Structure 1
C-alpha cells in the first residue's frame, strides 16, 4: 500500500448515520506533522506512518470537517484510496 502524503485526495467512510463515503484531503502525514504542535497539544499525534489527519468535504454550507489520526481501512471512520479509472 502506498503511504499517504499531504495534499493527496483519499476517500473517507463516515462513522455516523449511513456511513457516507466522502472525498477528503490529507492535511498532515508523518512527514509533515508539526512536532511542536503535537508537543504543545495543539495537534494530535499520528499512530503510524499510515495514519493521517484529514479535511473531509461535505455538500452544503458547512463544507467539511476535520478528522484526526485516521487509519486506513474499509470500515467506518477510515480512509481508503479512490478506485483507479
Structure 2
C-alpha cells in the first residue's frame, strides 16, 4: 500500500515541477523552461501509468519514456549553450 502512495507523490512532484517551469516560461518565453516543463510532464505521466502495474516496471516502454524526457532536457541545454556562442 505504501509503494503506490510513493509513486503518486513522485508523480505529483513531477507535475509540480512542470508547472513551476511553465510559469517561468510564461514570464521569459525562454525555450529552456518549456523544454524542462515538457520533460517533467512526460515523467509525471509515466509515473501515473506505472501505478496500476508496479510489478511490470521492467518493461522497455518505461525506460524509453524516461529516455525521451532526458533527451528533451539534453537537447534544450545544448541549444541554449549554442545560442550564447
TM tier relative to shorter chain: under 0.3
TM-score, normalised with respect to structure 2: 0.25
TM-score, normalised with respect to structure 1: 0.25
> Who wins on radius of gyration, i.e. which is larger?
2
Q: Which has the higher helix share?
A: 2
Q: Which has the higher strand share?
A: 1
